[in-house]
Amino acid sequence: MSLIINNLSKTYSNGVKALQNISLDIPNGMFGLLGPNGAGKSTLMRTLATLQDADKGSVMLGDLDVLKQKNEVRQVLGYLPQQFGLYPKISAETLLNHFAVLKGITNKGERRELVQALLHKTNLYNVRKQNLVGFSGGMKQRFGIAQALLNNPKLLIVDEPTAGLDPVERNRFYNVLSELGENTVVILSTHIVEDVKELCTNMAIINKGQVVLKGNPMKVIEDLEGKVYQKTIVKSALAEYKKHYQVISEKLFLGKQIIHVLCDVAPGNGFTPISADLEDVYFSQIFDTNRNLKIKA
C-alpha cells in the first residue's frame, strides 16, 4: 500500500498559498516531512487526515481516493494532531475506550483487551484510572498516540509529535512508533531534523508550500558529501562572510561563531571540510529556497 499525492494545491481565503503542486510517493514505512514553521506541513497533514479540502490535485491511498472517500479512509486512519486537549473529568481508560467505540471496535471484550494492551504499550497502564486533567505533556502525547493506534491503522499521520517533549519522553515516543508493522504508511511531520534522521526511511523537505527535496535520508546526505566546509569566525565578521559565501548554518559553540558553507570546490581561507549531516541538507535547502524567493522578489 502506498500513498500517492499528486499536484496537491490549497490557497486559503486570505491569499496564503499553503500548498503548491505538492507531489509525493510515500510507500509503507516511516516517512519524515521536514520543514520550517509555516511551510505547509500541518495543512498537508490535515488534508491527508481527511479534515481539510484541497483546491486541486489528488491523493490516493491504495485504491481509496482520500479526498473523496473520506469515510472509508477514516476506517483505516490514525491521526495525532499538532495541538489537542482532553476532557478534564474523565479517566484515560474511559476516554480510550470511548474512542475505540467511535473507531468501530464495538465488541466489548475485544475492546477491553485492546485498550489494556495499548495502555501498557504507552506506559499509561498505572495511571489509567486517573483523570486526564492531571496528565503532563508527555503523558498527553502518549495518550494521543495510543488513540491513533487503536484501529491498527494503515495510514498513520503524526503532526509534530515531539515538540515540547523532554528527551526521555521523545525517546519513549519513538520506541512506540518504531514497533509499528511494515504494513503501515507513517507520515511524521516535524522541524526537528534529528527525528527524521533517527526514524525515517524516506523523507521530503517542504518549504513555503512546495516540495524542495525528496528521497532517502542517506542518499541526500551523500549528495552533499564533500561540499560542506566549516570555519570558526568572530561574530562581527558574519555579515561579510555571508556576502562572499553560501552560508548554510551559523551556530554558537563556546561563545564563538561557527559557520558551515556550501562550496563545490575547496574555498581555502581557513575552512575545513566536514562530513555532511542531515541538518546541513536541511539548512541548504531552506536557505536555497529563501534565497531564490528573495531574488524573485
Partner 1 sequence: MWYEIFKFELKYRIKRPDTYLFFVFLFLFSIVGIDFILQGVELGPIKKNSPLVIAKAMGAITGIFMIIASMIMGVSVLRDFEYHIESLMYVNPIRKRDYLLGRFLGSFAVLLFVFSGLLFGMMLGEFMPWKDPNDLHPFNIRSYVQPFVFVTLPIMFFGACLFFITGALSKKIVVVYTQGIVFFVIFIVVKSITNEQLQAILDPFSLTTISLLTESWTVEARNFNGIPFSGLLLYNKLFWIVLGLLILVFGYQKFNFTIVKRKQVNKKKSQVLNIETDIDYTREIPEFQLKYGFKAKWTQLTDLSLFYFKSICKQPTFWAIVICGILIMLVNSVNLGTVHGVDSYPETYFIVKELQETSVYFFLIILVFYSGELIWKERSVKLNLIYDATPISDFIHLAGKYIGLLLIYIVLIISLIISGIIFQTMNGYYNYELQVYFYGFFLEILPFLALYTFIAFFAQVLTNHKFIGILAVMVFLTINIGLRSFGFDHDLYLFGGSPLGTYSDMNGFGHFFKPFIFIKAYWLFFGLSILIISSVFSVRGTESNFLKRLKGIRTRLSNSLLKFGIITMTTFILLGCYIYYNTNVLNKYMSKAETINYRVNYEKTLKKFEYFPQPKIVDVNLKVDLYPSTRDYIIDGVYVLNNTTDVTISEIHIQKLMDAHTALDGVTFDKEVIANNEYNEYGYTIYELKEEMQPGGSITISFKQTFTTNGFEVGGSNTHIVNNGTFFNNKHLPTLGYNKKYELRNTDDRSDHGLPPRLKKAKREDPKELLNPRSGSDSDGITFEIIIGTDENQTAIAPGSLMKNWTENNRNYFHYKMDKTMINFYSIVSAEYEVQKDTWRVTPKTETKPVDLEIYYHKGHDFNLDRMMESMKASFDYYSTNFSPYQYHQMRITEFPRYLEFAQAFPGTVPFSEAIGFVLDIDDETDVDMAFYITAHELAHQWFGMQVEAANVQGQHLILETLSQYAAIMVLKKHYSEDKVQQFLKLQVEKYSNGKRIESGKEPSLAFVENQEYVYYAKGAINMYELQEYIGEDKVNLAIKQFISDWNTTDGKLKMRTNRYATTKDLLGYFKNVTPEELQYLIHDLFEKVIPMSTPNT
Minimum Å gap between C-beta 128 and partner 1 is 9
When the beta carbons of 28 and 43 are compared against partner 1, the nearer one is 43
Minimum Å gap between C-beta 193 and partner 1 is 24
- What residues line the site for partner 1 (CB under 8 A)? 13, 46, 49-53, 68, 70-71, 74-75, 77-81, 83-90, 98-99, 101-107, 110-111, 113-114, 117-118, 120-121, 123, 126-127, 130, 133-134, 139, 144, 147, 149, 151-152, 172, 175-176, 179
When the beta carbons of 37 and 83 are compared against partner 1, the nearer one is 83
Minimum Å gap between C-beta 82 and partner 1 is 9
Minimum Å gap between C-beta 57 and partner 1 is 17
When the beta carbons of 180 and 258 are compared against partner 1, the nearer one is 180
Strands 3-11 and 56-61: antiparallel
When the beta carbons of 26 and 76 are compared against partner 1, the nearer one is 76
Question: Which triple of cell numbers denotes residue 178?
Answer: 518504531
Minimum Å gap between C-beta 215 and partner 1 is 29
When the beta carbons of 199 and 281 are compared against partner 1, the nearer one is 199
Minimum Å gap between C-beta 85 and partner 1 is 4
Q: How far apart are the first and last CA of the chain?
A: 41
